[in-house]
Chains A and B, each alone.
Chain A
Amino acid sequence: MSSKVRDTKFDFVKHRNKFFAISLALIVLGGLAIAIFGLNLGIDFSSGSRVDLQSESKLTTEEVSKEFEELGFDPESVTLAGGGEMAVAAFKDELGKDEIAEIKNHFTELYSVEPSISTVSPDVAVDLAKNAFIALAIASVGIIIYVALRFEWLQGVAAIVALFHDAFFIIAVFSILQIEVNITFIAAVLTIVGYSINDTIVTFDRIRENMKFEKKVKTFEDVARVVNKSLVQTLARSINTVLTVVFAAAALTIFGGEAIRPFAIALLIGLVAGTYSSLFIASQLWAVWKGKQLKKKKFTPAETEV
Chain B
Amino acid sequence: MVKKGRIVAFFLIVLLLGGLIGTTVMGVTKDIKLGLDLQGGFEVLYEVEPAQEGQELSQDLLNSTVSALYKRINVLGVSEPRITIEGEDRIRVQLAGVKDQNQARELLSTQAELTFRTTDDKEKMSGADLKEGAAKVVFDNNQPVVQVTLKDPEKFANITRDLSQLPQPDNRLVIWLDYEEGDSYKEEVTKPADEQKFISDPAVNQVLSQNTVVISGPPFQLEEAENLKELLNAGSLPVQLEEIYSTSVGAQFGEQSLDKTVIAGFIGVGLIFLFMLFYYRLPGVIAVITLTTYIYLILVVFNWMNAVLTLPGIAALILGVGMAVDANIITYERIKEEIRSGKSVMSAFKAGGRRSFTTIFDANITTLIAASVLFAYGTSSVKGFAVMLITSIVVSFLTAVWGSRILLGLWVKSRALNKKPGLFGVKESEIDEL
Residues of A within 8 A of B (CB): 2-3, 6, 52, 54, 97, 100-101, 104-105, 108, 113-121, 123-125, 127-128, 131-132, 134-136, 138-139, 142-143, 146-147, 150-151, 159, 183-184, 186-188, 190-191, 193-195, 197-198, 201-202, 205-206, 209, 233-234, 236-237, 240-241, 243-245, 247-252, 254-260, 263-264, 267
The answer, among B252, B337, B376, B381, for a CB contact under 8 Å with A54, is B252
Does B315 contact A187, Cβ atoms closer than 8 Å? yes
Known A142-B370, A143-B366; 19 more pairs at CB < 8 Å: A6-B430, A117-B246, A119-B246, A128-B381, A135-B378, A139-B369, A142-B373, A146-B366, A187-B311, A194-B370, A197-B367, A198-B367, A202-B326, A205-B359, A240-B279, A240-B333, A247-B275, A256-B257, A258-B257
Give A105 to B66 CA distance when docked, in angstroms: 29
Give A184 to B245 CA distance when docked, in angstroms: 16
Give A118 to B41 CA distance when docked, in angstroms: 11
Interface pairs (22), CB distance under 8 Å: A6-B430, A100-B105, A100-B246, A100-B248, A101-B102, A115-B250, A118-B245, A125-B245, A128-B380, A135-B376, A139-B370, A183-B312, A187-B311, A191-B319, A194-B371, A197-B366, A201-B362, A202-B326, A234-B333, A241-B330, A251-B265, A263-B311
CB-CB contacts of B235-278 with A at 8 A, as 1s and 0s? 00000000111111111110011011101110111011001100
Does A252 contact B105, Cβ atoms closer than 8 Å? no
Residues of the A chain whose Cβ atoms lie less than 8 Å from the Cβ of B318: 191, 245, 248-249, 252, 267
Give A118 to B322 CA distance when docked, in angstroms: 32
The answer, among A100, A197, A260, for a CB contact under 8 Å with B311, is A260
Residues of the B chain whose Cβ atoms lie less than 8 Å from the Cβ of A243: 275
CB distance from B229 to the nearest CB of A (A): 22
Does B250 contact A113, Cβ atoms closer than 8 Å? yes
Instruction: State whether A245 and B322 are in contact (beta carbons under 8 Å apart), knowing that A6-B340, A101-B102, A190-B382 are contacts in the complex.
Output: yes
- By beta carbon, the residue of chain A nearest B246 is A119
Secondary structure of the B side of the interface?
helix
Does A251 contact B102, Cβ atoms closer than 8 Å? no
Residues of the B chain whose Cβ atoms lie less than 8 Å from the Cβ of A97: 105-106, 109, 243
Instruction: State whether A117 and B248 are in contact (beta carbons under 8 Å apart), knowing that A6-B340, A205-B362 are contacts in the complex.
Output: yes
Does B385 contact A187, Cβ atoms closer than 8 Å? yes
Does B265 contact A252, Cβ atoms closer than 8 Å? yes
Instruction: State whether A124 and B261 are in contact (beta carbons under 8 Å apart), knowing that A2-B425, A240-B329, A251-B271 are contacts in the complex.
Output: no
Does A135 contact B382, Cβ atoms closer than 8 Å? yes
Residues of the A chain whose Cβ atoms lie less than 8 Å from the Cβ of B380: 128
CB distance from A167 to the nearest CB of B (A): 12
Residue B316, interface by CB 8 Å: yes
The answer, among A119, A131, A194, for a CB contact under 8 Å with B377, is A131
Residues of the B chain whose Cβ atoms lie less than 8 Å from the Cβ of A195: 319, 322
Give A220 to B348 CA distance when docked, in angstroms: 33
Give A187 to B317 CA distance when docked, in angstroms: 11
Residues of the B chain whose Cβ atoms lie less than 8 Å from the Cβ of A143: 366, 369-370
Residues of the A chain whose Cβ atoms lie less than 8 Å from the Cβ of B249: 116
Residues of the A chain whose Cβ atoms lie less than 8 Å from the Cβ of B172: none
Does B251 contact A255, Cβ atoms closer than 8 Å? no
Residue B222, interface by CB 8 Å: no
Secondary structure of the A side of the interface?
helix
Residues of the A chain whose Cβ atoms lie less than 8 Å from the Cβ of B251: 114
Instruction: State whether A135 and B311 are in contact (beta carbons under 8 Å apart), knowing that A205-B358, A251-B264, A260-B257 are contacts in the complex.
Output: no
Give A127 to B337 CA distance when docked, in angstroms: 48
With an 8 Å Cβ cutoff, the count of chain B residues facing the other chain is 82
The answer, among B245, B319, B336, B369, for a CB contact under 8 Å with A124, is B245
Instruction: State whether A193 and B370 are in contact (beta carbons under 8 Å apart), knowing that A131-B379, A184-B315 are contacts in the complex.
Output: yes
Residues of the A chain whose Cβ atoms lie less than 8 Å from the Cβ of B315: 184, 187-188, 190-191, 263, 267
CB distance from A283 to the nearest CB of B (A): 15
Does A202 contact B330, Cβ atoms closer than 8 Å? yes
- By beta carbon, the residue of chain A nearest B380 is A128
Give the 4 A-B residue pairs with the shortest CB-CB distance, closest first.
A251-B268, A114-B250, A248-B268, A187-B312
Does A139 contact B373, Cβ atoms closer than 8 Å? yes
Does B248 contact A118, Cβ atoms closer than 8 Å? yes
Residue B325, interface by CB 8 Å: yes
Residue B419, interface by CB 8 Å: no
Does B316 contact A119, Cβ atoms closer than 8 Å? no
Does B362 contact A186, Cβ atoms closer than 8 Å? no
Q: Which of B259, B265, B366, B379 has the most CB of A within 10 A?
A: B366
Residues of the A chain whose Cβ atoms lie less than 8 Å from the Cβ of B378: 131-132, 135
Give A151 to B40 CA distance when docked, in angstroms: 47
- By beta carbon, the residue of chain B nearest A190 is B385
Does B316 contact A202, Cβ atoms closer than 8 Å? no
CB distance from B392 to the nearest CB of A (A): 10
CB-CB contacts of B300-339 with A at 8 A, as 1s and 0s? 0000000000011011101101110110011001001100
Residues of the A chain whose Cβ atoms lie less than 8 Å from the Cβ of B228: none
Does A194 contact B389, Cβ atoms closer than 8 Å? yes
Does B377 contact A138, Cβ atoms closer than 8 Å? yes
CB distance from B197 to the nearest CB of A (A): 13
Residues of the B chain whose Cβ atoms lie less than 8 Å from the Cβ of A198: 323, 326, 363-364, 366-367
Give A104 to B264 CA distance when docked, in angstroms: 30
CB distance from A32 to the nearest CB of B (A): 29
Residues of the B chain whose Cβ atoms lie less than 8 Å from the Cβ of A263: 311, 315
Q: Which of B355, B382, B389 has the most CB of A within 10 A?
A: B382
CB distance from A104 to the nearest CB of B (A): 6
CB distance from B342 to the nearest CB of A (A): 14
Instruction: State whether A241 and B369 are in contact (beta carbons under 8 Å apart), knowing that A131-B379, A187-B315, A257-B260 are contacts in the complex.
Output: no
The answer, among A115, A159, A183, A241, for a CB contact under 8 Å with B326, is A241
Residues of the B chain whose Cβ atoms lie less than 8 Å from the Cβ of A252: 261, 264-265, 268, 318
Instruction: State whether A104 and B425 are in contact (beta carbons under 8 Å apart), knowing that A115-B250, A132-B378, A267-B315 are contacts in the complex.
Output: no
- By beta carbon, the residue of chain B nearest A105 is B102
Does A119 contact B243, Cβ atoms closer than 8 Å? yes
- By beta carbon, the residue of chain B nearest A254 is B264
Residue B374, interface by CB 8 Å: yes
Give A191 to B393 CA distance when docked, in angstroms: 13
Residue B365, interface by CB 8 Å: yes
Does B358 contact A245, Cβ atoms closer than 8 Å? no
The answer, among A131, A136, A201, for a CB contact under 8 Å with B363, is A201
Residue B4, interface by CB 8 Å: no
Does A135 contact B377, Cβ atoms closer than 8 Å? yes
Does A237 contact B379, Cβ atoms closer than 8 Å? no
